[in-house]
Homo-oligomer: A and B are copies of this chain.
Amino acid sequence: MERIPILRMGETLLVTIQVDMQDQTAMALQEDLSARIASTGASGVLIDISALEIVDSFVGRMLSTISGVARILSATTVVVGMQPAVAITLVELGLSLEGVRTALDVERGMALLQRLRLENARGA
């Protein structure tokens, strides 16, 4: 079974999705990511999907689930690099990716996470 690598960069975990997600790969990613958030105490997760030309409802749900799990583990998920056509498909499928934050690219995603960290620190 293929496993998608999770790269740690400071307080952020970065995942680049390049292959079409199958059930098993998606489940493995979810498990690996939860374990890594817990073990590293990461406060942010960046998921780059710029390589995906098609996102079906399965992948859409997976992104929502990962985001939900991460939130419970006190990490914010930002999905980056979504192609315009993918955004259109998602909306047409009725998947609004609720609760999932998005950014245009990794740099902006990083900046967003940084801003949220500062806000949280101020609020605490």
Docked-complex contact B105 and A7, CB < 8 angstroms: yes
Question: Known contacts A2-B18, A18-B18: does B51 contact A8 (CB below 8 Å)?
Answer: no
Assembly CA distance A107 to B106 (angstroms) = 16
Q: How far is the CA of A21 from the CA of B16 in the complex (A)?
A: 16
Contact (Cβ within 8 A) B110 A51: no
Classify the interface of chain A: helix, strand, loop or mixed: loop
Evaluate contact between A8 and B107: CB separation under 8 angstroms.
yes
The answer to whether the Cβ of A102 comes within 8 Å of any Cβ in the partner chain is no
**A48–B5 CB distance below 8 A:** yes
Instruction: Tell me if A72 counts as interface (CB < 8 A to partner B).
Output: no
Q: Is A54 an interface residue (CB 8 A)?
A: no
